């Protein structure tokens, strides 16, 4: 798994590529905690080139959404993968979900 990040205007974009599983979760967790706790206004977590490999991968996404809500940070999760979208909806995270490539979503804000 690889993680890249950058900023466009007031949105911090985190792009994950590869399999999000028990081995990869610690790296993503550390980065997302730093970004959310660092005062970002909006975060786009782009999973268009990633797959959720196990329950630990899904768990870190749930954790990040809840942490961002507590911090008042707007977090969007972009995916093209129907399985990932379905898992997020079942975890009641549909309000953070944006289906489709994350490229054009930097300026999107959902409350």
| Fold held by 2-102 | Transcription Regulator spoIIAA (3.30.750)
Distance CA 18, CA 98 (A): 19
Q: CB neighbours (10 Å) of residue 42?
A: 21
For helices 82-90 and 55-71, angle between their N-to-C axes, nearest 10 degrees: 60
What are the CA-CA distances from residue 110 to residues 2, 44, 101, 104 (Å)? 26, 11, 16, 14
Does position 101 have pLDDT exceeding 90, yes or no?
no
Q: For residue range 8-57, what is the model confidence (pLDDT) as tens digits?
A: 888 999 999 999 999 999 999 999 999 999 988 999 999 999 999 999 99
Contact 29, 60 (CB under 8 A): yes
Say yes or no to pLDDT of 99 above 90: no
> Within its chain, how far is the Cα of 99 from the centroid?
12
Q: How confident is the model at residue 100 (pLDDT cuts 50, 70, 90)?
A: low
């Amino acid at each position: 798994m690889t993680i890249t990040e950058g900023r466009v205007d007031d949105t911090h974009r985190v792009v994950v590529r590869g399999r999000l599983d028990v081995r990869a979760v610690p790296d993503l967790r550390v980065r997302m905690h730093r970004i959310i706790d660092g005062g970002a206004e909006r975060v786009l977590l782009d999973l268009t080139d990633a797959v959720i490999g196990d329950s630990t991968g899904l768990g870190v996404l749930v954790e990040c959404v809840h942490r961002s809500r507590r911090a008042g940070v707007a977090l969007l999760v972009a995916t093209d993968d129907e399985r990932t979208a379905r898992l997020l909806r079942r975890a009641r995270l549909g309000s953070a979900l944006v289906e489709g490539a994350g490229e054009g979503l930097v300026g999107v804000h959902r409350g």
